Amino acid sequence: MPRGNYRSKVGQDGGMSDQSALGWAGCTAVEQDPRRVSGAWVFLGTRVPVAALFENLENGISVTDFVELFPGVTQEQARLVLEHAARSTAAAVA
């Protein structure tokens, strides 16, 4: 199964352009280090950008398949990222 081409939508902050305002600092499943992956938000303990999850989901890849494709990312981390994105999005429209 091919990985998604998340790079096409990655913004300067390492997040997808429509995901950049989600405030990832509040999510315990991710981290950001300016010396790794150009400062993109990545899954904790990995070099896998958070944006890769959303791009793969958009391309029809399931969370289970994503975790299998990206070693080091756990189901729990993916769940926490999706929950954080849902809360942040809901707060933004409220």
Q: Is residue 51 part of a domain?
A: yes
Domain at 32, CATH number: 1.10.10.10
Residue 58 within any structural domain of the chain: yes
Does 1 reside within a domain?
Answer: no
List, as one string, the DSSP characters of 13-67: TSSBTTTTTS-GGG-TTEEE-TTSGGG-EEETTS--BHHHHHHHHHTT--HHHHH
Q: pTM of the predicted model, to two decimals? A: 0.75
- What range does the domain containing 32 cover? 6-93
Per-residue pLDDT reduced to its tens digit, 39-93: 999 999 999 999 999 999 999 999 999 999 999 999 999 999 999 999 988 877 7
Query: Domain total for the chain?
Result: 1
